[in-house]
Structure 1
Amino acid sequence: MDNSTFKIFLALTCLSITSTLILAYKSYPLYQYVTASYNTQKIPDALNSTMPIKDSEHAFYNTCKITDPLNSITPIKDSEHFMVSAFIDHRLGGVIRVIAIIKRNSLQPLYCVYCSAEQVCKTVHTDVQIHNDHFGFPFHVSDVICKGKHMQNATHVRISTKDLDNNATEYLPIQNQVRMSTFKYNFTVCISNLFGDYNNVLQFAQTMEMYKLLGVQHVVIYKTGCGPDLEKLLKHYETEGILEIVPWPINQFLNPSSGWNFQEHKGDVHYYGQLVTLNECIYRHMYQSKYVLLNDIDEIIMPYKHANLPSLMKYLQYAYPRVSVFLFESHVFPTTQFEESRKFKRAEWNNIPGVNIMEHIHREPNRKNIYNPTKMIVNPRKVQQTSVHSSLKNYGYIHRVAFNVSRMAHVREPVQVNLTKEQLFVDKRMWDFEQKLIPNVDRTLKLSGLLRPH
């Protein structure tokens, strides 16, 4: 082969190799990631994303380590919003639902970045659904819905303000991966918020022990803060296994309101994010608990025709098989009125801070032309969104349980402050549990290191 022929052969060989390399590069996902950033396309409104997945989905390899967030509240970069937790919603075809806190007047287009165990990540547009019960507060619980391909293989997700950004490492683990038909618990109580220096130890212990006697196996508390004595009691119940404490440092990110009315109480978010935690609790226990009770720690849903909650719910579900949300009327037992015999004013409890619910058996009558507020027992698999006193979006029907079947005892300061004792009704239902309740409370206080010699 002469010199000129060799040069022609060498040039053709180099051209062939270069063409092969280009084709291989274009088929590699990294090329798709790089070139996609140069594509110009109209970003759909985040509240009403209608762009097909094939046009909005970008795949890339995340070369950074995916880490779980340190807090239960995670800021969304370059926004005023926050991520809380993420779940597969099998009822909607396996989409990813991210519980979030959104600033209502600062909503920009948001993107969902979800990754598999191999750290292959995809970006899709989102549908942001701000719940409608915001009470005027600027920040409110919202669902960020992510729709894409093969989401059943996703393990982690984050919400981003950019459609292509693989630099972030903080992702939420995706829960509810498997749809379950058998449950770890029959009844879970969700206590939405514990904040400030709340130290009502005696009422807390009595309520927890009453829950157990009624058939509750699991209690969840979203904790921002509490008093030192209650902290000891919480640790006991956590060690015992009935209590799950979810850290809720909402005050590190926002100025939470201590009330429900924005005009009166001000602040960034309603009642320390109560509506965020109630919705989060439903999804957290969707496949862990058959029923979820949504009430506060000073409230007890009491059956009046049945011995406990299992027998009550068996009756209600048989009578109303298509109902998924049961409402229970709230009735106030004012802490300013005491029963006369003082049989439950026990010397053993003199040094225990808090209210003794056994001493308060007088119930306020219904107020004329005023709708009694309710709390709920729900089938969590049938609820999409909830408020405090009723469900916002659910499958199936809602039923208000009859007063004589079951109602909620709310032991608190009076609502009708001008009523005399003679105008109240005597209601001793809690006394039916005294033989087991009192020794159980004593045992718990002793194990918590709170029951001191008198």
Structure 2
Amino acid sequence: MFRWKCLSLKLYIIVIICLYIAIWIFSNIVGRVRKPLIDVESPDEVIFRDVAESQPNVPKREALDDYSHHSQLSDCWGERQEENYKFTRILSDFYIFSAFYDNRTKPLIRLISLNRITVHPKLYCVFRYNDNSYESKTDYYEMCENHRRTFGGHILSCTIPRELNHLGIPCTVELTTLEGNRERLNVQFSQNSNRKGKFGICIPPLFNDFQYVKFIEFIELNRILGANTFYIYFTETYEENLVKILKYYKRENIVKLIPWKLPEDISNRVWYHGQSIAIHDCLYRFMFSVEYLIFQDLDEFIIPTQLHKWSHLLEKLDNNHIDGFCFECFYFQQKAAYTTDTLWSLTFKQRTVKGTRQLSKCLVKSDRIFEMGIHHISKFIKNTSLVLNVHKNDGRLFHFRKCKGMFGDICYRNVEDTILEDKYSVKMIENVNLVFEANGFQ
């Protein structure tokens, strides 16, 4: 009898351990939302924070309710203003960069703001039609990557009044304050039927003088992988050859350029040149232009480990509920000095043995996202969406940057990795040479 009880107890313990292991494995493969953990963009500053928990006035990041209102209109009503890309001052310490029509849950206007974090003035969206005006109050949602800076980003939402829903998309919205300030903003919109490609890449503000040769390699390698369009936020005057290349890719309809100039009195008081605000402008501006969006920097590449293109990888990994794919980050060290006889990206052959999920970059179904983090998906538009943490044997984020000790023990062991050279070098060299010839470079 005693032996039977001992055997039963052992079996019970084994079952509990197996269940725990199974739950742990599942949670590391598929998850709904991952929190921002670390900021690689600022190597001297590491911040661990969950905004929803640390700030009780900010709504938690559970998924929104699911509605279905899909406008088939291809035009807007009302008079449209001349287009510009600037931060429009609404009040002291409060700016709006862009306004978007969003009917994924119900007909709404989304506004992307840059403002002092503690300033939440009462704002109203006013819609004017046939000499009548209709008013709707805005709700605030703080972006998750403001990192306790004085200024940061919000997503403001105001409902389009029911009386106007039959008209479809307004061309403009007037933003008013209790103090009587009024600013009219163009409303950006696009439809699923207008999609021009499968993959687009959002590149946050370029604030350093990036070499034009490296930029060409970035564009051409990502085009081989499947990218159709690159959305680039540029901040300043660049060297002559880089400007020439940007104009070339713009003429070829490969690059779309979005001017990005922060208000001078704020530029040093917002996180990393307003990176999170630019990410959300890109998300909402182009979510219906391509099926998938990727958010990454110029020294990062999402590389399928076994297959050749992103589309092949998604055919293997995708299902109806996975709306985001996040790739573990591996750092690459330069093995050989860069010369004009080879490609810059092919000089990086020493990869860290270990990667880190904390510094992932993600590929998302663009119309399924409400809020993006820098290294994670913060909030979906539907509560049925899932994130897949892609296994390193299927795909990895290649980060061509020196690995520093602050990233933990991942920096101390390296292994040779020639995937890039073996799979893509021939086509890359061919494409880069064609761009050089088209622009008169030697």
TM norm. shorter chain > 0.5: yes
CA contact (8 A) 2:151 2:266 kept: no
- Tell me what 2:350 maps to: 362
- Tell me what 2:430 maps to: 439
Provide closer, same or farther for how the CA distance between residues 194 and 224 of structure 1 changes in structure 2, counting only shifts above 3 A: same
Aligned partners of 1:142 and 1:412: how far apart in 2?
A: 31
- Tell me what 2:225 maps to: 214
Q: Could you list the per-position Cα deviations for residues 115-158 of structure 1 after superposition, in whole angstroms to 9, with x for gaps in the alignment?
A: 45x67543321111112331111211211111131253421014
Aligned partners of 2:155 and 2:175: how far apart in 1?
A: 11
Give the one of 236, 240, 246 matched to 1:234. 246
| Aligned-partner residue type, residue 396 of structure 2 | R
Does 2:74 correspond to 1:73?
A: no
How far did 1:176 drift?
A: 2.3
CA contact (8 A) 1:188 1:289 kept: yes
| Aligned-partner residue type, residue 86 of structure 1 | A
SS of residue paired to 1:105:
coil
SS of residue paired to 1:437:
helix
CA contact (8 A) 2:329 2:357 kept: no
Q: Could you list the per-position Cα deviations for residues 2-33 of structure 1 after superposition, in whole angstroms to 9, with x for gaps in the alignment?
A: xxxxxxxxxxxxxxxxxxxxxxxxxxxxxxxx
| Aligned-partner residue type, residue 245 of structure 1 | L
How far did 1:414 drift?
A: 3.3
- Tell me what 2:273 maps to: 272
Give the one of 402, 415, 426 matched to 2:416. 426
Aligned partners of 2:205 and 2:85: how far apart in 1?
A: 16
**Alignment TM-score, normalising by the size of structure 1:** 0.72
SS of residue paired to 1:361:
strand
CA contact (8 A) 1:299 1:410 kept: yes
- Tell me what 1:57 maps to: none
Aligned partners of 1:234 and 1:120: how far apart in 2?
A: 45
SS of residue paired to 1:389:
coil
SS of residue paired to 1:392:
strand
374-383 or 428-437: which moved more? 428-437
Give unpaired runs (5+ residues) of structure 1: 1-45, 49-63, 257-266, 350-354
Aligned partners of 2:392 and 2:265: how far apart in 1?
A: 39
- Tell me what 1:375 maps to: 361
Q: How many residues align?
A: 358
SS of residue paired to 1:144:
strand
Provide closer, same or farther for how the CA distance between residues 224 and 142 of structure 1 changes in structure 2, counting only shifts above 3 A: same
Higher RCO by CA contacts (8 Å cutoff, separation 6 or greater) = 2
**Alignment TM-score, normalising by the size of structure 2:** 0.74
SS of residue paired to 1:171:
strand
- Tell me what 1:23 maps to: none
Aligned partners of 1:430 and 1:219: how far apart in 2?
A: 21
Q: Which has the larger radius of gyration?
A: 1
Q: Could you list the per-position Cα deviations for residues 89-122 of structure 1 after superposition, in whole angstroms to 9, with x for gaps in the alignment?
A: 2122111111111211122211112345x67543
Identity %: 23
Larger strand share, 1 or 2: 2
| Aligned-partner residue type, residue 102 of structure 1 | N
Aligned partners of 1:125 and 1:294: how far apart in 2?
A: 31
CA contact (8 A) 1:364 1:416 kept: no
Does 2:189 correspond to 1:188?
A: no
RMSD: 2.9
CA contact (8 A) 1:47 1:127 kept: no
How far did 1:321 drift?
A: 2.8
Give unpaired runs (5+ residues) of structure 2: 1-56, 60-77
CA contact (8 A) 2:370 2:379 kept: yes
